[in-house]
Amino acid sequence: MVDTAAEPSANLSPRARARQQTMRDIVRIGREHLATDGAAALSLRAVARDLGLVSSAVYRYVASRDELLTLLVVDGYDELGDAVDAALTDVDRADHPGRMRAIGRAVRAWGLAEPATYALLFGSPVPGYEAPAEQTTGPGTRVVVRLVEVWEDAWQAGAITADEGAVSPRRLSRDLARIRRQMGLAVPERLVARGLFAWAALFGCVTWEVFGQYGSATFTDPADLFEQHLDALVETVGLG
C-alpha cells in the first residue's frame, strides 16, 4: 500500500510531490465513486478514467481494487478520528460527560455527512475484501481510544464507580484483562465491559440513523432522539 501522507510536501522532490498529489486525487475520486456506485462496484479503471490516466498507468500508484479500498478505509477512519479530536478541543478534560457527548455528536455528524464512507467502515462487508489489520487497526481504533480516555480519566478522578471484582465467565474476564493490559488501563473489568457496550451502542444509534432505519417521517428531528440516547449511554457508563 502507498502512504499518501508519509512526508510533508515541502521536503519532497517535484516528482515525489506529484506522486503524492496523484495519490490524494485517487482517494478523492475513489470516495466519489464510493458514493455513487458503492464499494462492491468500485473500479480502478473507472478511477483512472476520471483521473485522466490510461488504465494501466493507475496500477503504478495502486496495485489493486483491494488496495484502493484499504486507502479509502484508512482515509475514512482518519477523517472520522480528526472530527472527533476537533470536537474535543473545546471541552474541558474534567468534563467527562461533556467529552463523551462531544465524541458521540461528532461521530453522528460525520456519519450523516459521509454516509457512503460510513457504510464502508461500519456497514456490510465488501464481498471478497478483508481489510489488512496492520494498516487499518490504528486508524480504526481512534474513536474508541478517545472514549476509553474519558472513562479512564473519570475513574482516576473518582468521578465514576464500578465493582472491581472479576466478571464472569472466566474467558470474558481474561479477554477484558488483556484489553486492560494492552491499553494500560486502571479501570476495572466491569467498567471496560460497560464501556464496550456504550461504544457499540453509540455506533448502533448512528448506524440506524445513517441507514434510514427510523423512516423518513417518524421523528421531526432525529437529533432529539440521539440526545436522549447520549444521555442513556452516559448513564450506562456511570457518568450520569
pLDDT band at 240 (very low <50, low <70, confident <90, very high): confident
pLDDT band at 2 (very low <50, low <70, confident <90, very high): very low
Range 164-172 average pLDDT: 94
pLDDT of the residue at 9: 62
pLDDT band at 112 (very low <50, low <70, confident <90, very high): very high
Read off the pLDDT of residues 189-225 as tens digits, 9 standing for 90 and up. Answer: 999 999 999 999 999 999 999 999 999 999 999 999 9
pLDDT of the residue at 7: 55
Read off the pLDDT of residues 146-155 as tens digits, 9 standing for 90 and up. Answer: 999 999 999 9
Distance CA 206, CA 118 (A): 10
Contact 117, 79 (CB under 8 A): yes
The grid cell for 108 is 453522528
Contact 173, 208 (CB under 8 A): no
pLDDT band at 11 (very low <50, low <70, confident <90, very high): confident
Read off the pLDDT of residues 12-23 as tens digits, 9 standing for 90 and up. Answer: 888 899 999 999
Q: Give DSSP secondary structure letters for 86-128.
A: HHHTTS-TT-HHHHHHHHHHHHHHHHHH-HHHHHHHHSSPPTT
Cβ neighbours for 169, distance < 8 A, ≥ 6 positions apart: none
Global pTM? 0.92
Distance CA 86, CA 102 (A): 10
Range 38-57 average pLDDT: 93
pLDDT of 181 strictly over 80:
yes
Least-confidence region, from 4-13, 76-85, 123-132:
4-13
Least-confidence region, from 69-73, 95-99, 161-165, 218-222:
161-165
pLDDT of the residue at 1: 42
pLDDT of 10 strictly over 80:
no
Contact 225, 219 (CB under 8 A): yes
